[in-house]
Structure 1
């Protein structure tokens, strides 16, 4: 693979290896899956008292964003500065979760803004980073 310079500045610079865009297709598709699931009308989501007791909605958010980080980070596991890339992926995933809450508030019918969903999205992004790191270390052996 060819090495190139991704960013160079007065404080830091780091190199990267080119990664085929096709390796990011699962992550790209997952972004759309999350979008569709989070803008579905609330009436389309089954209501169950147990779901509310177990905070099922928060677990779904956590899982969606853990998978998002994992799918985006997986192609970068061989990169020179994978921790930098993983940090960027986490930040972008959290920002996507925040943006989706605003989409739910202003665009999606019968959906609302919920800060606890953003907390669950953040927890999911961090969980995805941990799983990715464990996967990388196991795969490296």
Structure 2
């Protein structure tokens, strides 16, 4: 007959496993969800980790973008993502896309920066409400 043991203290339940959304290198896909890294959860974690230090986060991600470009081009020289796509993937999500407006006195002012390729100059145009950018 099997021995009957008195019930002991309940076994503690192990804490849930939290898996970080980190890149699998050299393919630069998320090891948890399989999407292109940085995936949405990785972006949220990075924003939280670098809260208030957006420039530091941008420099960190720019370095990782260069590493990803190098590794992906070595792995798939003819089908690697183009630089613009990697820039959008690694850095494009850091800033909003809409033009920014600021109030100056009672007037709203929009600033647009254009690159004049002929003269290699940055031209800043400032206009008030209702002024076109043409």
TM-score with structure 1 setting the length: 0.37
TM-score, normalised relative to structure 2: 0.38
Of Structure 1 and Structure 2, which has the larger fraction of its residues in strand? Answer: 2
Considering only CA atoms, is the larger Rg found in Structure 1 or Structure 2?
2
